[in-house]
Structure 1
Amino acid sequence: MLEHGGNLRDAALRFGRDDWLDLSTGINPRWYPAPPLPDNAWHRLPEADPELARAAQAYYNAPLMLPVAGTQAAIQALPRLRKPSRVAVTAPSYAEHAHHWSDHGHTLTQTPYAELDAAVAANDVVVIVNPNNPTGATVPAALLLEWADKLAARGGWLVVDEAFGDTSQDNSVAAHSDRPGLIVLRSVGKFFGLAGIRLGFVAAHADLLRGLADLLGPWTISGPAQHIASAALRDQQWQAATREQLDASGERLRKLLAAHGIASNGTPLFQWWSEARPEAFWQHMAERGIWVRLFKQAARGIRLGLPPDEAGWQRLQTALNEWTNQ
């Protein structure tokens, strides 16, 4: 399996400590407070709840949505719904896309964001992470819709992974996902901080959603996950307060890094920068119990998420001071 953030067991085994400040994931450290569960939540088979789909459609402003066991489930399944195709996946970006589109007979090209326009003309499927993970790069919604129309005209797909899109809903293309060939992935794990319930959504044309649902099979979302997510998606007061808090925290992180000579980009949930010595920075932080995401292949750099509290902010600042002064 590919390496991902949040692997604190690996951190503990390697560095031998249990007081980790985990900044490796980009997940909101102040998660949605789960409501009490119904008495039978663990007893009943988790048949699909139409209220969950309706709550998601209202929150994401999408005509139709299919709940899935995290967007990872859709990422693994979508390549199986097409005959062998020419596929371009943005690079660098979330590595699971390229990993799975490289199977099932597809011909994969990993494409820098600057070359996407040409990739649309040369491929059957184009996969774009927007905003990008890990760099925070974005493509305007109007341009995405233009590309989607070009691909759909010859039976192609534009897959847009908006897992980090909750803090920039105005750039989402989910509202247009009823048109053939446009597929949008959304996650409750990042903004709501609920990665552990393994729930995401796919917005697409009804025919594609039926095929995806048949492939994934029954009972894909647990009853407790459905109950918690329905509450989170409807809680507009929590959502508004959280966007305001994340905007402020994201700007605080950007300014903190800038004060130490680090010019970063990102979203309110994380910052990214190309680091000249990424392994050394990662090692420095790990030795102080701060777990950051190291990228050492095509994109050599560091991704840093938000501390959960003031003690975490102070701990990060102290580690950055020591890095700068060494």
Structure 2
Amino acid sequence: MHRAYLKSPAADIQTAIDYLPHAEERLRKEVWQYLQSGSGQGLTSARNRKVFEDVSLMPRPLADVRGGNTRVELFGQSFSHPVILAPLAYQRLFHPDGETASAMAGVAQGGQMVVSSLASQLLETIIEAAGQPLWFQLYWQADRETTLRLVKKALSAGYSAVMFTVDAPVKQAAIALPKDVSAVNLEAPIALADATGASVVFDGWMKQAPGWDDLMWLRDQITVPLIIKGILHPADAEHAVSLGCDAVVVSNHGGRVLDGVPGSLQLLPDISRAISGKAKVLFDSGVRNGQDVFKALALGADAVMVGRPYIWGLASGGALGVAHVIRLMRDELEMTMALSGAKDLTAIRSGTYVYQA
């Protein structure tokens, strides 16, 4: 029998990570493993957390932070805080209300959500629930024509920015999906290119993966902001911006693609310096609380994306759980700012509030 969803935050939930056991006991074992697992031995997933833990905060007492705020403006939209809900696939695996619950919660808390190409609900349904323009995350669809049809579908539905994920060139479900859950916005599952007698990797998967020329082509096809997700090398960030991209997401996909790469936070300062003033810098991978958000902002991010923690909230209590996770992180961010003497996000980025080991 399915355990009932929380109708209000449980007394033991004081931080986002406190939702973890509540989510685990409400999900099937294989779904929980799909959500939590990293690639390989999980080295990158562990490294993401260690890098955050190795960054120290520097308190600055006696600072006047009255009237402080966490407001941020991104691509013509104003948000109450810099915590963005990252694109996660198949959210009806975690709660019947799926992506619509996450979108409603994100907007209700004054923030933004990025909807996955692999969403389990129609793009139109999700944005209608949100009541405001959301951002659309794009996976390459094996060829330009199919990819463009998907992008146009999102733009026609009212999505106001495209986040092109490039570190997982061909993405498929790593779990056997139940019959009532699928990537409903895609035309058909992406077929593996024929690699008979050749390398499955180089002549199969990578034969249909996008390249820099495809990025240039995509930039020419759309007028909305184009954000590139999955960049770790400063030279790649600079190249993407030179091709007209409006933002870069410093991300290792939460440790779910190539195991053994650096923690995203390690590369954030270098990438921020490389494209400073030319494009926005977003951060993703390993964020678990408001202090993590503060650290990423202090090291060069304009906004921070959170993934698994809001799904813990979704799995535990639907939209209410997601909204509570966001609120907890925002409260933690505000408290960290206040005790560090940073009145707003500009102050965080311009001051010396953290030290990397």
TM-score norm. by structure 2 comes to: 0.29
Higher relative contact order (CA 8 A, sep 6+): 2
TM-score norm. by structure 1 comes to: 0.31
